[in-house]
Structure 1
Amino acid sequence: MGEMYMKDLGIVICNFNKVDYLKVCLESLYKSNFENLTYDVIVVDNASTDGSPDFIKENYPQIILLENETNTGGSGGFDRGIRFTIKEEYEYVVLLDNDTLLEVNTIINLYTYIKNNSIVGAVGSKICTMDNPDIVQEMGSFIDFDDKFNMRLAFQAYKDDNSLPEMVSCDYVPACCMITTNEVLKKVGSFNTHHFIYWDDMDWCTRVKKAGYEIHAISNSRVFHKLGASNHTNTFGLYYFERNRIMFFLKYLEADKFDKFVNVICNWFITLSFFSNLKGNYAKPKSFLCAIDDLLIGNLGKQDDSIFIKEPEINIFDKYNLRNTDNIAIYMQKDMISNRRVYLYLKDFYKNITLYCDKKNYDLIKSNFDEEIVLQKEFLQNKFKTIFYVQEHILDFKEDKLFDDKYIFIDQFINVANLNEIKNLNSQYRMYEDIFKNIYQPVLYKKFKTIRDMFKNEN
């Protein structure tokens, strides 16, 4: 490239109160194969109180430790690390989450790929879950600007085997484990600290693509990641994810998609608030409304006041008098995320589970689950106390003569209804939807328009 660089690689890890994960991450990092590359490890610590900075100083004096005075989130942590790597002139920059475990060639394979593909602005690893190493969390991901206005994780919940492609050309790769270049960072800048956490890597990758580069994920670089936020007792994950999702789309959306976007977000919120109310959990919809108001008044970054404690949800096993010794079946569909979530949820409770599906989904289910799969026609001869019928969403219910009182309908969000309840559910939902569309949606439309105009003026 003609430029003189200080070192080949600057490896940035953002850390907040995860000293035990950080130990594992650093251990695997220093066992990595770097061939002859020169590198520095830069840990940005977000004012941890668990002894993380002392652990680094005592055990890894060679690490460059940047200590923030307050918790600036993943966005602020990566931003500080990236700015440091630009200033210090590392030729390539790796971003790593602190709760990752690397294979020996994870980083060298990213480096080799980006070095040999100048059109590529960022390359991400295949990410598998730490608790379930042969299951893919994501490998390259996409942003849906047309339909759901959300992100879509490629190959999520699939088995990690030879059927996966070697490379996916995509919209973004997460900062969990990615590589980019000094040249790209100088062109597009650092992470946006307004996010605090979530959608910051999508925002950054979108800017990289707008600058004319491609984003790729590769299969021969693998990392294991500890999944966080899903079991939060508060609305931390929901608040930041939804606030930043709305901020992202209002910033990048084409004008002619705006009406559809508002409609999709409102439909999502109608569903969220309706089912939260059924479950006796009011924290999520309240936090979501706070997210919109925070965007409107410019409360960005960390916003503790908009995060609420979740009420305990109704236990479905008590509600339907289910016993963990009952012989039960799960009727699976083609949506693998719903299948996997329902299966993991029920597996924690039941001792005996039979999986079954119809013929057209048999090969897909068979290749993704180790358990025996029973086909529908054989299944009908079996005697089950309860049959859990998986749906992408419980409102997708279609009446069928097959159904009787044994059936419990369940979706990926663990919304649950028996046959009697599900028949009334749609009419209750339609009434609630009517009220919302006529009264609340026009007000939200006005708020979204104001927020979008604010972003346009900033640019």
Structure 2
Amino acid sequence: MTKDLGIVICNFNKVDYLKGCLETLYKSNFENLSYDVIVVDNASTDESVKFVKDNYKEVILLENEINTGGSGGFDRGIRYAQEKEYKYVALLDNDILLEENTIINLLKYIKSNPNVGIVGSKICTMDNQDILQEMGSFIDFDDKFNVKTPLKSHKDDETLPEVVKCDYVPACCLITTNEVLQKVGSFNTDHFIYWDDMDWCTRVKKAGYEVHAINSSRVFHKMGASNHTNTFGVYYFERNRILFYLKYLPDTKVKEFTDSICNWFLNSIFFSSLKGNYATPKSLLFAIDDLFSHNMGRQDNSIFIKEEQINPFEKYNLTIDDKVCLYLTDNMITNRKMYLYLKNFYGDKMSIFYDKKNEKLIKQNFDEGYIISRNEFENRKFDRIFLPLEHILDYNENILSGDNYIYIDQFINVVSYKEMYNLKASYEMHYNMFKNIYQPVIEKKFKKVRNDLLEKDSLC
């Protein structure tokens, strides 16, 4: 007899998180649903397999002989679910904690909305459970050619919408239907990890369905450390991002996309070298070259250990006794990241200030730190004022400035006001060289990859 729901969990060497995921999953409210839990293990070398076998004999355990990444793990689980013909299929990350009604609310929603092909949960961070990691995300096809997560770093409160109609939801916690899987198929294993769920959701939308995220279903996700010691994340994210856009962009946007990628590559080379980190741009070059050579899937030889970077606190002779102020802006992702980064050095001694125009946004989503008034900001003599930017190159003459200002972006590029002119002049020289020598070669290669992808799709 066909069961209602197959729940697929992909795992690799995270037994401690898998314990929490399975514990909260089995405490969930399934009402009268019949279901199976399927754990796909990617050749873990920890105690993951033993833990499942010893403690959850009812779990269907699929053991891969090698690590096939998130793409390969979910692909195997999805194909198993298709064979068993579950009416609905859920995909879960192994490092989440579920609430009692997380699954049932997703299922009720997709049952009552036949136009929806995938529905995903609201995702909050495990370490700060009232802060959003994601709730409905979008793919920018027009400007920065990247993912957009508008609600990231916002508070999980009554101001959130009940439903977000979006471009994709991550395979952190979602439900789809057997009908969708029959029409669209499984994950693209070329990715190994990253951009696989974006690719899959895009195919679902192209098949005529909608993708939604809902407020009534919530999980807590253990976000990975932002300061990785190797280039694993940047390699797979950037390689697969380029693959995605070359596959799905309209012809009219390919030139603009190429310009954007070349700018990103140039920025990585330029700013990484300033910090003494050559591993990141090298891995990016390998990512582009592997894409050109169709070396997809897992590529261990393209991942490098990062060098120890120049410490900005030492570079600018900063001490924990400095009188400092963080000037918050209208970008909550950057605000929160910079606050946590600086707090790690200054502790609770840092003052916080924001403009009147950003008051509603900040008060609604930010209650950390010592907020000072405009009078205090203007009259206290701060040794340093940190102004967050999305990127250092966003600096212009209209931005607040002064000898005691330090500009810092979400990539931890740090530049003092006194350095800004020389930095931008040096960047301009590198920009002209890159654009006239290297970019034409990249453009030629991108066209070849895109033509190959389009030809492959036309044969399918």
TM-score if structure 2 supplies the norm length? 0.97
Pick the aligned partner of 1:373 from 347, 368, 371.
Answer: 371
- 1:231 — aligned with what? 227
Match of 2:201 in 1: 205
The one-letter amino acid paired with 2:442 is L
1:358, 1:375 within 8 Å by CA — same for their partners in 2? Answer: no
Q: Return the alpha-carbon distance in structure 1 between the equivalents of residues 384 and 110 of structure 2.
A: 52
Contact 1:359 1:376 in 2 (8 A): no
Partners of 2:78 and 2:451 lie apart in 1 by 29
Map of 2:302 onto structure 1: 306
> Which amino acid in structure 2 is aligned with residue 399 of structure 1?
E
- Match of residue 356, structure 1, among 353, 356, 359: 353
Provide the alpha-carbon RMSD of the alignment: 1.2
Residue 358 of structure 1: CA displacement? 1.2
Deviation at 1:327, TM superposition (A): 2.4
Which residue type is aligned with residue 457 of structure 1?
E
Letter aligned with residue 55 of structure 1 = F
| Amino-acid identity (%) | 67
Shift of 1:404: 2.8
Contact 1:229 1:237 in 2 (8 A): no
Per-residue CA distance 1:303-354 (angstroms, 9 max, x = gap): 0011111111111111111112322100111111111111010011103011
Structure 1 gap segments, 5+ residues each: none
CA distance in structure 2 between the partners assigned to 1:25 and 1:145 by the alignment:
34
Amino acid at match of 1:117: N
The CA deviation string for residues 67-116 of structure 1, in whole angstroms up to 9 with x for no partner, is 00000000000000000000001110000000000011100000000010
Task: Report the equivalent of 1:273.
Answer: 269
Deviation by residue 1:195-231 (Cα, 9 ceiling, x = unmatched) = 0000000000000000000000000100000111523
Higher deviation after alignment, 109-118 or 366-375: 366-375
In structure 2, how many angstroms separate the alpha carbons of the residues matched to 1:290 and 1:93?
Answer: 36
Are 2:22 and 1:26 equivalent residues in the alignment?
A: yes
Amino acid at match of 1:314: I
- What is the total number of aligned residue pairs between the two structures? 455
Alignment of 1:121-200 (within 5 A): 121-200=117-196
Question: Does the 8 Å contact 1:230/1:237 carry over to 2?
Answer: no
Distance in structure 1 (CA, Å) of the matches to 2:396 and 2:444? 35
Q: Are 1:323 and 2:319 counterparts?
A: yes
Deviations 1:31-79, CA, capped at 9 Å, x for gaps: 1011111111000000000011111000000000000000000000000
- Mapped to 2, the partners of 1:165 and 1:398 lie a distance apart of 35
- Tell me if the contact between 1:359 and 1:375 (Cα under 8 Å) persists in the aligned partners: no
Deviation at 1:154, TM superposition (A): 3.1
Q: Displaced runs of 4+ in structure 1, greater than 6 A?
A: none
Q: Secondary structure at the match of 1:122?
A: strand
How much does 1:399 deviate?
3.5
In structure 2, distance between residues paired with 1:298 and 1:418: 42
CA shift for structure 1 position 405? 2.4
1:329-340 matches, within 5 Å, as: 329-340=325-336
Q: Which residue does 1:43 correspond to in 2?
A: 39
Amino acid at match of 2:75: D
Q: Residue deviations 1:360-406, cap 9 Å, x none?
A: 11221121111343344441112322111111211122336963322
**Aligned counterparts, 1:72-151, within 5 A:** 72-151=68-147
C-alpha separation in 1, matches of 2:163 and 2:245: 27
Describe the shift of the 1:400–1:291 C-alpha distance in structure 2 as closer, same or farther (beyond 3 A).
closer
Matches of 1:252 and 1:268, distance apart in 2:
20
Contact 1:146–1:257 (CA<8 Å) still a contact in 2? Answer: yes
Counterpart CA distance in 2 for 1:221 and 1:37 is: 17
2:404 alignment partner AA: K
In the alignment, which residue of structure 2 is the partner of 1:390? 388
Deviation at 1:408, TM superposition (A): 1.1
Q: Which amino acid in structure 2 is aligned with residue 84 of structure 1?
A: Y
Which digits, 9 at most, give the CA deviation of each residue in 1:402-436, with x for residues without a partner? 63322111111111111211121111111110000
Q: Which position in structure 2 is the counterpart of 1:405?
A: 403
1:442 paired with 2:436, answer no
**Aligned with residue 65 of structure 2, among 56, 65, 69:** 69
